[in-house]
Amino acid sequence: MRAIHNIIAVAKYESKTLFRSWFFRIFSILSLVFVFFYNFITQTGIGWPNQDMIALPSMIPFTNLYIINLAQAIIAVFLASEFLKQDKKLDTTEVVYMRSITNADYVIGKTLGNIWVFVMLNLIALGMVAVFNMASPYTRFNLLPYIYYFLLISLPTLIFIMGFSFFLMSVIKNQAVTFLVLLGYIAATLFYLQNKFHYIFDYMAFKLPMTWSEVVGFSSLKDIMIHRGIYFFLGLGFIGLTILLLRRLSQSKLVKEVVVSFSVLFLATGILLGFIYIRKITNEEGHRSVMLEINNRYAGMKVVRVQSYDIELEHLGNQIAATTTLNIKNAEKEALNEFVLTLNPGLEVQQLSGARYTREMQLLKIQPEKALQPGDSLKISIQYKGTIDESFCYLDQTPLQLENWKNSPNGVTDKKHAFVTPEYLLLTPENRWYPTAGVSYSSKGLNWLTSQFAHFQLKVKATKGFTVLSQGKKTEDENGTTLFQPEQPLTQISLAIGKYQTRSVTVDKVTYTLSFFDGHNTFDQYFKVLTDSIVPVIRDVKKSWEIKIHREYPFQRLQLIEIPVQFCSFNHAWSSAGEQVQPETVYMAEGGFKMSGTNFAGVKRMSQNQNRDHNNNETVSPRETEAGYLKRFINDTFLSSKVDPMGAFNGIRIGGSGPNLNTTDILNPYFIFPNYYNYLNFIASPAYPITNRVVESYLSKSATEGGNMFIRTMMGLSGDEKGNIALQNRSFADILEKQADSDILNNVIQTKSGFLFALMKGAVGPEKFDEFLRGFLDDRKFRIIQVEELNQEMRNNFKLDLNQYLPQWYTSAMLPGYILVDTKAFKIQKDNQIKTVISFVLTNTENISGAITVTFRLGGFGGGGGGMRRMGGGGGGSDENIEKTVVIGAKESKRLTFLLNRDPRMMTINTYASHNLPSTISQRFDKLEIDPKGEGSDKDEVIPYTDGSETSEIIVDNEDKGFRIVQPVSKSFIKKLFTSDVPDDELKYKGMNLWNPQVEWTLTTNEQFYGKQIRSAYYCKGGTGDRKAIWSVPIKEGGYYKLYAYIPKIRFGRGGDNQPDDIYEFNVTHDDGVDHPVVKADARESTWIEMGTYHFSSDSAKIELTNNTKSRFVFADAVKLIKEK
Amino acid sequence: MRIEIKGLNKVYPNGNHAIKDVNMTIESGMFGLLGPNGAGKSTLMRILVTLMKPSSGQVLVNGLDLMKDRKEIRSMLGYLPQDFRFFTKLKTYEFLDYAARLAGLTNGKSRREIVEKMLEEVGLYEARNRFANNLSGGMKRRLGIAQALIGDPKLIIVDEPTTGLDPEERIRFRNLLTRVSDKDVVIILSTHIVGDISSTCTDMALMNKGILSYKGSPEHLIELARNNVWKITATETEYFEIQEKYPIISSIPSEEGWEVQVVSKEINGYLGERIEPNLEHAYVNFMENELNQKWIEI
Ligand SMILES: Nc1ncnc2c1ncn2[C@@H]1O[C@H](COP(=O)(O)OP(=O)(O)OP(=O)(O)O)[C@@H](O)[C@H]1O
Ligand SMILES: [Mg+2]
């Protein structure tokens, strides 16, 4: 009793003192003001709605607490270290220390006093947030996450950081040192440790996956509690140690002993929880490698075809029970004594009839009574029960990939692949919730890869009141079972059970349904008048999309189903389809979380602002506005292959920086494309299993043409370039096998696919080829196509043999390389019409043939890809493009002439996989003159080999031997420690970031740079002259030379002009001394700029460029010498 | 109440031997501790209030061992340190309330009464809502006294409680202590103001360089000085001679020159007379004449 009285007394006055300290007051006022404005902006109609918070109301307390917690963790360190320092300094401490109070009471009182004040601050802030939340016009209020996040984020952080700082202060006894150590620790967890070692060091829960779904809550409350428990108990343990280390004579042996035992107990608990936490993960990794090893063992086995599935499934809370009957056929040419099926290892087989079987983790080894002869069928029935073992999913992802997976498209770091809970169930094919033929993945090649088309029938029994959603025609009977019968053979089937509401509309024989969780209809407020006019909108969007993709939607329904936010899917190298897109189904993250298309509130708010600014006269009817929202939603969600990076980075937990400036494309997981290819066609190729992926890449690319130049200059290399750089000295086969970075892999596949199809299109003619390919695929829907079939058809139609291209394309590391010279462009009068002639010489300098595509952009407006985000609307621009593909042999020069009916604005040559970096070459055309004598027609003639070089010039480029850079090594150890890890397979060329230029010389590529094939240069930030680029030009013959430097013109910022004071300072060492010519970079185009005439004797001339300039950045590219006559 | 100090020694970590083999018994009542700067008074007191461990020796408080029964002893203590200037950001009232709570006053209502009464007694009631840090030096001292006396401590240890107090306050303080000392309480106060002791203490000790050199009543100390205190009427030149020879207690310029009070066994021909010694004289006499002779105890 007395102890409690003492603790309260100490705590009371400690909290009073803390509360009265200016430091704390300023901090709390600042945080409350910040919280106020942050919520005022994000949650009222006056500010800008935050889409994350609208989609997922738990983000409101989360985001707020996240910020407060970070701030208070730092403040607490300071205050806690102050605590012991003050004790030493104050006279009044003595009159407290001589009182009859135990050391434990004293320290506990102090700690509680401190924590109490912070807790109050948290509660006041959260209360304020809650008021905003309840009043928000955009979203719902949910109390539970407020409580959870407070208890799981704030409290353990506070207890830990207090205990830890008290403890350190008691040991180190110097406030400044303690403070530095602790801040270092915080900085390390924030910037370096982050998610490393499975978030084990993340005491602030800064990166720990903690998304809370309104449907299923946390993905694993237990795991989170273990993690937070680590810090909670360590904190308590440290407080205990502080008691023992307190410099005051203790007054009770008993209390001391109790404190010792509790400290030990708490610390041990913390450490134990840490072990439990890590062991769970390492166990999982071990488990995964065992499963992978088993898969590898059976990957070579012949695979049977499953022709039909009859699945009966019952949802039993945390389990499912199912009976699946499979009709299996031997499609191989030999008899099968044994074959394997894959079933999730969390599902226990209870009975299997029709054959003998053995189970090894995820594999079912089936031995038919007698060998299954070619063409024979077998019916087996498997009864199983259990839950989904999620560690089985995505065996193709290495532990490192899993750990580094942070820029998830849905911005959530939780990784749920299935849900089996009493409130909700979601099963996707990746789970293997029904048995499939063969293995799910093997790290040894791609030969196990199959996709099968089977007739499905699914019968589901779910708890009353739950809605069951799957593929096919749905019928419900009176005793609560739901039957699904897909009309076509499908590659896969998925299942969702939950408290859903469903709305649907049928347009042109396709039924579109939207299934969302009860109460999640906040979007209704944006669609008040649209109602029936939704039909033409859908019809229009679908039509224009299908014109672009040249294919037709093959199913009778398209359902959009909301699923819990933690669902995540990784991309497999062999397919662009993620689990979110299933046959006739798209699973959408809860509330449209992180989907730019669902940001109705933002769009509405923005258009309100625009209307006010422009005082628009042309009024848009509400119906048109709403149709705009819908169109934008459809375009952004289903019809874009990539996530708009500007939209994806608005989450506060995302954001990668560091030395790797190359952008990573984030694939849009909701891209509808698999429903136009993957779920209806599959090309099987035993020799080149990647073929299907290559065709897929070609089709999807052509449906989403149009890169984003804005992103390129701002953040780095485009996907094609990354693919091209990766291919410079490695074969496709090699990269497929060894490349771990899935982004680079995707880019390589895309580049290689473009190259292969350019070869074929070049040989056949692009339109003809495309028409053929699509027709071929349309005739062979819902079945496996053997690549031989495709080859046969091509031979028949075009006398084109795929096998002529494939081997070299697949295994050779050689690439073509092109030089473009002698471009002529003029107009002529022909048949009473003005036409334009463009002509140039193209040389392939390499020993392997290649193909390029020339695109002329005619007339129109607005050159490169749109820079700003388009709100509403969609689809491609209206520019007319003319596209020609040309095949060019090894070591061959061709003069290519094109006759165009309209003025070209720009010519772009795509060289696909080649030695040209960047892989596109473009040229703009200004006003062209009529040449009365000119002539021309479309021509493609081989001319004598020329590489276009002129003998009178000596050029040293940054790629040449004579070039080098000199710069101090500036990376300190600390800096290295805090920049996030550099991937091993980093690309040689980095992207250019002109908003924040690199301080060091950085090698980068750009069309504006000089280079025969590799148009690269070094760039760095303007500085003091400590960095130099040096060209040593070999001189064969002494004499006077005119010296030039190549000054690239990179468009940057508003107006895209170099600043007038962009100045390059060179040092030229010549026979009469050293000169310092200064070059102004004010030319309109990238060009050679003269720097004077100098006398150089034989040997070599030395030209230096330093970073001593006021301009933002400097490029070191090439110099040229021309001998004076 | 009875405090027994046996063979007490304190050697600071830097080797400073601040208390050397002190033995004494202190009974109920007011006990004065006198000694020059650095004598070890504060050190002794800090040991008594359990802020510090002695290097050797034993202290028994009513038979309780200071090293073992800290809990009980602490609950009997009231302490005012010598330095009492820097407070945390608390108001006068709050600080006293804090002390009262820690002193074991658990009942909120009665505690409030006691605290308010105490504030009135030390004349701080008006200042109760001011931050303690902003009080004047003397007011801080009074607050210190108040917190030392709150909760009826049995053993009150005050280190130079009266420094910085105005005369009126000093008297008030003396009366306060005297009132408390009526009960079965030990009050140990150290001071340089001899008057404080002579007017209040029944028992006292004198410390010098860590050694307890006198322990007994103030009267006896004065007795020792009898015949050794002189009042000399001296000329200007004599005055300077006297200054060289004898410890001077006071000197007042007069018409003939100077009237000087000195402590000495004889005055060797100067014109002077013996006067009645007071404690101040006794202290100087003791330091000058007795210290280097022998240990005196009554
Ligand atoms: N923390 C310490 N470490 C080392 N020596 C100390 C310490 N505190 C005091 N001393 C020394 O111990 C001796 C006794 O000091 P103490 O403060 O007890 O004297 P005091 O009698 O209270 O003097 P004053 O009348 O000036 O207050 C002095 O020589 C002093 O320098
Ligand atoms: Mg002292």
DSSP string, A532-595: GGHHHHHHHHHHHHHHHHT----SSEEEEEEE-TTB--PPPTT-S--TTEETTEEEEEGGGTT-
Say if CB B216 and CB B297 are below 8 A apart: yes
Say if CB A387 and CB A318 are below 8 A apart: yes
Lowest average pLDDT, out of A315-324, A477-486, A649-658, A673-682, goes to A649-658
Range from A759-763, A1100-1104, B73-77, B243-247 that averages highest in pLDDT: B73-77
Residue A645 vs residue A943, higher pLDDT: A943
> Is the confidence at residue A73, as pLDDT, over 80?
yes
In a domain, B47, yes or no: yes
Residue A782 amino acid letter: F
Residue B85: predicted pLDDT:
86
pLDDT in tens, A193-243: 766 777 888 888 888 888 999 999 998 999 999 999 999 999 999 999 999
Residue A661: predicted pLDDT:
39
Name the closest-CA residue to atom 17, ligand 1: B42
Report DSSP state, residue A468.
Answer: E
Residue A1093, sorted as left (phi over 0), alpha (psi -120 to 50) or beta, turns out to be: beta
Look at residue A124 and give its three-state secondary structure: helix
**Minimum-distance ligand 1 atom for the alpha carbon of B82:** 27
pLDDT in tens, B255-294: 878 888 888 888 887 888 888 888 888 888 888 876 655 4
Look at residue A1107 and give its three-state secondary structure: coil
B241 with B146, same domain: the answer is: no
Say if CB B71 and CB B226 are below 8 A apart: no
**For A17, which of B49, B90, B104 is closest by C-beta distance?**
B90
Given an 8 Å threshold on Cβ–Cβ distance, is A252 in contact with B88? no
Cis peptide before A918 (omega within 30 of 0): yes
Look at residue A871 and give its three-state secondary structure: coil
Residue A725 corresponds to which tokens in the numbers above?
């750089």
User: How close does chain A come to B158, measured CA to CA in Å?
Assistant: 11
CA angle, A365 as apex, A362 and A367 as ends, to 5°?
165
Sheet-wide strand order for B186-190: B77-80, B155-159, B186-190, B29-34, B203-208, B211-216, B296-297
Q: Domain count of chain B? A: 2
B247 with B164, same domain: the answer is: no
B138 with B253, same domain: the answer is: no
In degrees and rounded to multiples of 5, residue A691 shows phi and psi of -50, -45
B29 with B106, same domain: the answer is: yes
B187 Cα to the center of ligand 1, angstroms:
21
Residue A740: predicted pLDDT:
67
> Is the confidence at residue B89, as pLDDT, over 50?
yes
**B42-66 mean pLDDT:** 94
Residue A111 confidence class, pLDDT cut points 50, 70, 90: very high
Lowest average pLDDT, out of A46-55, A65-74, A661-670, A753-762, goes to A661-670
Look at chain B and count its residues: 298
In a domain, B221, yes or no: no
Residue A713, sorted as left (phi over 0), alpha (psi -120 to 50) or beta, turns out to be: alpha
Chain B residues closer than 8 Å to A247 by CB: none
Q: What is the DSSP string of A255-271?
A: HHHHHHHHHHHHHHHHH
Mutate to test the pocket of ligand 1, among B37, B42, B194 (most ligand atoms within 8 A of CB): B42
B72 with B26, same domain: the answer is: yes
Residue A718: predicted pLDDT:
66
B170 with B251, same domain: the answer is: no
B175 with B237, same domain: the answer is: no
Question: Residue B91's closest CA among A20, A892, A434?
Answer: A20
Residue A120: predicted pLDDT:
94
Say if CB B263 and CB B246 are below 8 A apart: yes
B16 Cα to the center of ligand 1, angstroms:
9
**For B102, which of A86, A94, A99 is closest by C-beta distance?**
A99
Residue A363 corresponds to which tokens in the numbers above?
């594999």
Report DSSP state, residue A597.
Answer: G
Which residue bears the tokens 């009043």? A135
Question: Residue B25's closest CA among B43, B10, B8, B5?
Answer: B5
B240 with B212, same domain: the answer is: no
Q: How far is residue B67's CA from residue A110's CA, in Å, rounded to a whole number?
A: 26
> Is the confidence at residue A2, as pLDDT, over 90?
no
Lowest average pLDDT, out of A364-373, A994-1003, B3-12, B96-105, goes to A994-1003
> Is the confidence at residue A1066, as pLDDT, over 80?
yes
The residue from B216, B239, B268 where one domain ends is: B216
CATH code, B205: 3.40.50.300
Query: Judged by CB atoms within 8 Å, which residues 70-129 of B form the interface with A?
Result: 70-72, 74-75, 77, 79-81, 83-90, 94-95, 98-99, 101-104, 106
Q: How far is residue B292's CA from residue A759's CA, in Å, rounded to a whole number?
A: 117
Residue A868 confidence class, pLDDT cut points 50, 70, 90: very low
Beta-bridge mates of residue B19: B10
Sheet-wide strand order for A436-437: A356-360, A363-367, A339-342, A436-437
Say if CB A581 and CB A639 are below 8 A apart: no
Residue A565 vs residue B195, higher pLDDT: A565
Residue A655 confidence class, pLDDT cut points 50, 70, 90: very low
Rounded to the nearest integer, the mean pLDDT of chain A is 85
Q: How far is residue A199's CA from residue A205's CA, in Å, rounded to a whole number?
A: 8
Ligand 1 binding pocket includes B40 (Cβ within 6 Å) = yes
% of chain A residues with pLDDT over 70: 89
B234 with B146, same domain: the answer is: no
Residue A1125 vs residue B1, higher pLDDT: B1
Q: For A1016-1046, what is the HEC assignment?
A: EEEEEECECCCCEEEEEEEECCCEEEEEEEE
Look at chain A and count its residues: 1125
Q: How far is residue A696's CA from residue A704's CA, in Å, rounded to a whole number?
A: 12
Residue A617: predicted pLDDT:
58
In a domain, B222, yes or no: no
Cα pseudo-dihedral B239, B242, B244, B249, rounded to 10: -100
Lowest average pLDDT, out of A259-268, A1051-1060, B41-50, B184-193, goes to A1051-1060
Q: Is B18 on the interface with A (CB under 8 A)?
A: no
Q: How far is residue B187's CA from residue B157's CA, in Å, rounded to a whole number?
A: 6
User: How close does chain A come to B75, measured CA to CA in Å?
Assistant: 5
In a domain, B297, yes or no: no
Say if CB A338 and CB A365 are below 8 A apart: yes
pLDDT in tens, A410-424: 556 688 999 999 999
Which residue bears the tokens 């009709």? A327
CA A831 to chain CA mean position, Å = 53
Mutate to test the pocket of ligand 1, among B41, B157, B208 (most ligand atoms within 8 A of CB): B41
Question: Residue A214's closest CA among A151, A139, A145?
Answer: A145
In a domain, B296, yes or no: no
Exposure string over B216-237, b if 16+ CB within 10 A, otherwise e: bebeebbebbeebbbbbbbeee
Structural domains of chain A sorted by starting position, each given as residue range(s) with its CATH number in brackets: 2-279 (no CATH), 301-496 (2.60.40.1730), 818-943 (2.60.40), 953-1123 (2.60.120.260)
B19 Cα to the center of ligand 1, angstroms:
9
Question: Residue A743's closest CA among A675, A655, A660, A647?
Answer: A660
Q: How far is residue A844's CA from residue B35's CA, in Å, rounded to a whole number?
A: 106
Question: What kind and span of H or E run contains A836?
Answer: strand A833-844
Residue A117: predicted pLDDT:
92
> Is the confidence at residue A48, as pLDDT, over 90?
no
Question: Residue A4's closest CA among A166, B147, A12, B97?
Answer: A12
In a domain, B68, yes or no: yes
Which residue range is the domain that position B242 belongs to? Answer: 227-276
Look at residue B8 and give its three-state secondary structure: strand
pLDDT in tens, A544-571: 899 888 889 999 999 999 999 999 888 8
**For B98, which of A9, A100, A248 is closest by C-beta distance?**
A9
Q: How far is residue B125's CA from residue B93's CA, in Å, rounded to a whole number?
A: 8
Question: Residue B7's closest CA among B68, B19, B296, B187?
Answer: B19
Residue A878: predicted pLDDT:
43
% of chain B residues with pLDDT over 90: 55
CA distances from A257 to A235, A246, A263, A323, B50 (A): 19, 15, 10, 60, 20
Q: How far is residue A6's CA from residue A108's CA, in Å, rounded to a whole number?
A: 10
B101 with B171, same domain: the answer is: yes
% of chain A residues with pLDDT over 90: 43
Residue A284 corresponds to which tokens in the numbers above?
């999982």
Residues 6+ apart with CB under 8 A from A96: A10, A106, B98, B99, B102
Chain B residues closer than 8 Å to A6 by CB: 101-102
Cα pseudo-dihedral B253, B255, B261, B262, rounded to 10: 90
pTM of the model: 0.82
Residue A864: predicted pLDDT:
38
Chain A residues closer than 8 Å to B86 by CB: 89-92
> Is the confidence at residue A572, as pLDDT, over 50?
yes
B104 with B156, same domain: the answer is: yes
Beta-bridge mates of residue A812: none
B138 Cα to the center of ligand 1, angstroms:
23
Residue A142: predicted pLDDT:
93
pLDDT in tens, A808-850: 889 888 889 999 888 888 888 877 888 889 999 999 999 888 8
Residue A1014 confidence class, pLDDT cut points 50, 70, 90: confident
Given an 8 Å threshold on Cβ–Cβ distance, is A95 in contact with B103? no
Residue A726 corresponds to which tokens in the numbers above?
């990766």
Query: Judged by CB atoms within 8 Å, which residues 73-102 of A form the interface with B?
Result: 86, 89-92, 94-102
Which residue bears the tokens 């003319």? A882
In a domain, B209, yes or no: yes
B93 with B155, same domain: the answer is: yes
In a domain, B285, yes or no: no
User: How close does chain B come to A245, measured CA to CA in Å?
Assistant: 15
Q: Is A20 on the interface with B (CB under 8 A)?
A: yes
Q: What is the DSSP string of A392-441?
A: GS-TTS-HHHHHH----TT-----B--EESSS-EEE-GGG--S-EES-S-
Residue A1: predicted pLDDT:
77
Ligand 1 binding pocket includes B14 (Cβ within 6 Å) = yes
Q: How far is residue A587's CA from residue A417's CA, in Å, rounded to a whole number?
A: 12
**B111-134 mean pLDDT:** 94
CA B210 to chain CA mean position, Å = 15
Residue A711: predicted pLDDT:
42
Question: Residue A673's closest CA among A645, A647, A637?
Answer: A637
Residue A713: predicted pLDDT:
43
